[in-house]
Structure 1
Amino acid sequence: MNETYKLSPGEKAFRIVNALLLILLCLTIILPFLNVIALAFNEGKDAEQGGIYFLPRAWSLENFEELFSSGNIMQAFFISMFRTVIGTVASVIFTAMAAYALKSRTMPGVKLFTMAIFFTMLFNGGLIPYYILLKDIHLTNSIWVYIIPSLYSVWNILIMRTFFQQISGSLEEAARIDGYNDFAIFWQIIMPLSKPVVAVISLFNAVSHWNDWFTGAFFVRNADLRPLSTLLQEMLTRQESLKRLLTNMASGANLDMLDRMHVTGNSLKMATIVIVVTPIIMIYPFIQKFFAKGVMIGSLKE
């Protein structure tokens, strides 16, 4: 006979407080983004007057029209898609291979390799030596500068290694008895059992590739090879610089031109956020079920 479990007054109070805190947390995340959407779809000049919170006051698509007015916007979008898809797949494969090797307790020098990799997580050579290195190996001003340097992430390797260590070693032993080598064990046993952590690492890499504007701005001179995030950042900077220039040169013609500008730097910034975040929001629901499990199992060791 099933008996209904009755909560004590302390447990009821805890659940109520916990629910209120979670609701407050959700509001602190959702409301600012609703404000960003409202400002993105509002006329920029009107938004400068303030008073816009969650709904546009002067509905307008001028901010998005300004962002998509660039002639090479589609080329930049293709570059972003290329680096996100290819970069994510390649990074997950190479990261998983490195993690599988480092999780072995029998590989000679595994502790030394682990410490050497972890050392690079704490210290780096700096931006100038990094640029010189990329230039010497002919990666600057190349589309592969987005892919090859990001093949490995120490943090992701450690997460995947810890996840792999949770998989029963008896599976590998049984596979070796059946004649499987390390490569076959990795692809046919380890990877199929690692879908949660693979989904998490894929999301981390995809977001990093999609949002990265720094690489295109500093290591690529060819405008046709710059990703969408870099192009949007440059357009935003130009818009803000133009407004400051017209404001400083306070002649009648400049003031009239400034008065006719309905798009502002802040409104472009909000539209840029919407464009950059939307693809990630669309992808996340499909892998959300793996996310929490992958992070928890991959970051904790029994």
Structure 2
Amino acid sequence: MNVGNEFYKLSAGEKIFKVVNYALIILLCLSIVLPFLNILALSFNAGKDAERGGIYFWPRVWTLENYHEVFTSANIGRAFAISIFRTVLGTVAGVFLSAMAAYTLKSKTMPGVRFFTLMIFFTMLFSGGIIPYYMLLKSLHLTNTIWVYVIPGLYSAWNLIILRTFFQQISISLEESAKLDGCSDFGIFMRIILPLSKPVLATISLFTAVGHWNDWFTGSFFVRTASIRPLSTLLQEMLTRQDAIRESLMQMAGSSQMQMLQRIQITGDSLKMATIIVVVAPIICVYPFIQKYFAKGAMIGSVKE
């Protein structure tokens, strides 16, 4: 099919719509790609030189010092392992358990299904607050343990509603046929529901994994042991400590302190950009493998017909 010929066959209104639509899409893509290229360029540029400004999409003074600072930080390897552990386990367990709960809630014959659905939806509107949440975690002996990253986030009300709506769109005749063949409810869930739900499962998995990987709050507020803090928390603390040291040295302004300040300036703002790249790179590497499911799953399950 000749795209050019097809375009000329359109009416004037349709041509204007397509041109405006593609222009907006291009602007949206540029608004996403260009800032990322700027971050990447700054991460490979010397921090002291970056403070002069004028760096957009290509480093002016190439250096790997920023990444060296990140990867030589104390406990960086353990923090990577903790982040991978919580992301993989939290995503797999969370999505699977949420899917099981959503499959149960889609049933029209289960007693009290409307009440349970309302209670789940209620949690999306109101929260007990951070102090009651901390007290709950402490009473469950989850604070200062690695399980505080996984167990509290196993279920998400939003994910449950999306999954339940998607499951309701699957023909009930498939389940009835399986039951006539002697298949149990769990067998139907594993052999029919899950294979037919790959798009929405991929979408929910991506959102859940990104949430686990980027979460620094839990490790900062509910964990005291540095050895079990995830990567995001470690990098956030490193940046905070870097800024605090730099600010104090600037205030003292002694000769020896200025030499230390010059050392910090090498990886000043550029260090922040390097940490951003380190944090987002694993997610960017995973995304292409589920992209074919993501485009479809982002809309399926959000509207009930």
TM-score range, shorter chain: over 0.9
Secondary structure of 1:298's match?
coil
Mapped to 2, the partners of 1:265 and 1:298 lie a distance apart of 45
Would you say 1:154 and 2:190 are equivalent positions? Answer: no
Shift of 1:252: 2.4
C-alpha deviations, 1:163-205, integer Å up to 9, x for none? 0000000011111111122111111111111111111111111
Secondary structure of 1:296's match?
coil
In the alignment, which of 130, 134, 149 is matched to residue 133 of structure 2?
130
Shift of 1:264: 4.2
Would you say 1:143 and 2:146 are equivalent positions? Answer: yes
Mapped to 1, the partners of 2:93 and 2:263 lie a distance apart of 48
Mapped to 2, the partners of 1:177 and 1:154 lie a distance apart of 33
Would you say 1:299 and 2:294 are equivalent positions? Answer: no
Would you say 1:84 and 2:91 are equivalent positions? Answer: no
In the alignment, which of 43, 48, 56 is matched to residue 40 of structure 1?
43
The normalised TM-score by structure 2 is: 0.95
Q: Is the 8 A contact 1:240 1:264 kept in 2?
A: no
- For structure 2, the residue ranges without an aligned partner over 5 or more in a row are none
Mapped to 2, the partners of 1:238 and 1:90 lie a distance apart of 34
Match of 2:56 in 1: 53
Q: Is the 8 A contact 1:239 1:264 kept in 2?
A: no
Residue identity over aligned pairs, in percent, reads 68
Would you say 1:116 and 2:119 are equivalent positions? Answer: yes
Would you say 1:99 and 2:91 are equivalent positions? Answer: no
Secondary structure of 1:221's match?
coil
Match of 1:189 in 2: 192
Mapped to 1, the partners of 2:249 and 2:13 lie a distance apart of 63
Q: CA RMSD in A?
A: 1.2
Letter in 2 for 1:201: I
C-alpha deviations, 1:108-132, integer Å up to 9, x for none? 0000000001101111111111111
Mapped to 1, the partners of 2:198 and 2:98 lie a distance apart of 14
Match of 2:264 in 1: 261
Q: Is the 8 A contact 1:246 1:255 kept in 2?
A: yes
C-alpha deviations, 1:90-143, integer Å up to 9, x for none? 001110011001111111000000000110111111111111111111101111
Q: Is the 8 A contact 2:48 2:268 kept in 1?
A: no
Mapped to 1, the partners of 2:266 and 2:98 lie a distance apart of 43
Mapped to 1, the partners of 2:130 and 2:160 lie a distance apart of 23
